[in-house]
Structure 1
Amino acid sequence: MTETPHPAPDPPGDADQAARAARVWAAMSALVLTGEDRRKEVTETLGISFFRAKALRRLLAGPLTQRELSARLATDKPQTSLIVDDLEQRGYVTRSVHPDDRRCKVVTLTPAGTDAAEQAERILARPPRALLELAPEELAVLDRIMARLSPEAP
């Protein structure tokens, strides 16, 4: 009879490290996702769904075709059309024919849409109170750690 190989036991401390990482991740998620509900603040301030605000924010960099906007929102074309229709009725965007392809529509922010998108950006960029309440040394340590964890970090 052959024995089924067993995986090597974890080195001492690995379980503690994994548990600690799980606690840190849960705390980070709670801080960002539930601590201060910025999404709710955006929707209440602008009077539109967070997803519509997200569409406006994606257009801040410049006009996009509806297909490009769909891709940036990770949604299907019919859903994007409904969102753009609503934003157009509210005066936040205009839709025009693409100069090189008449089958495509280009979505552009109006001045009111730019104001709304920038307001959403300001709300979302505001640090949570818990971060503002850290001692300068604690914030400096957290800043260094987050820089190491950043996708752009070397």
Structure 2
Amino acid sequence: MPDDNPTPDEVWALLTRVVMYSRDPWRRAAVERTGLPFSRIRVLRRLRAAPLTVTELAHAAAIDAPAATVAVNDLEEQGYVVREVDPTNRRKKLVSITTAGRAVLAKALATPDPAPDSVNALPADDLRALRDILSRIEH
């Protein structure tokens, strides 16, 4: 029986497990739909807002710098990103997403992501309560 006074960390751990473990079908479908490994989709998502250096990109995508370099090289060969000299510091290069990169990312993000069976099985009252709680904590 669960503790009647769970800590925020316990609840957070449960919430992230539920979400992360249920996303595998969506990830596989996005990979199939775009032909890109999911790691490349994740890199493109991080570049959506603004250009980043490879080091910044590695940090944002939670990968090491060599893996980020490999990903950028691959995406650049496919025309999904470009490297350009940083106008504020000519020693650095910024990686930017291209129009083609935005298109393939949009294709990945448009991949249907239906709720898992465990969520579909919840009664309407539970769904409303869960939605309301998550809406309150959404950033």
TM-score by length of 2: 0.76
Q: Secondary structure at the match of 2:125?
A: helix
Does 2:101 correspond to 1:138? no
How has the CA–CA distance of structure 1 residues 143 and 42 changed in structure 2, closer, same or farther, with 3 Å as cutoff? same
How has the CA–CA distance of structure 1 residues 129 and 56 changed in structure 2, closer, same or farther, with 3 Å as cutoff? same
- Could you tell me which runs of 5 or more consecutive residues in structure 1 were left unpaired when the two chains were aligned: 1-15
Provide the C-alpha distance between the structure 2 equivalents of 1:140 and 1:120, rounded to a whole number of angstroms: 28
What percentage of aligned pairs have identical amino acids? 32
| Superposition deviation, residue 28 in structure 1 | 7.2
Q: Secondary structure at the match of 1:104?
A: strand
* Aligned position for 1:123: 111
| Superposition deviation, residue 105 in structure 1 | 1.1
| Superposition deviation, residue 70 in structure 1 | 1.2
The number of aligned residues is 133
Match of 2:43 among 55, 60, 80: 55
AA matched with 1:39: R
Provide the C-alpha distance between the structure 2 equivalents of 1:116 and 1:78, rounded to a whole number of angstroms: 23
Does 2:51 correspond to 1:66? no
AA matched with 1:18: D
CA RMSD of aligned residues (A): 2.9
Structure whose alpha-carbon radius of gyration is higher: 1
TM-score by length of 1: 0.70
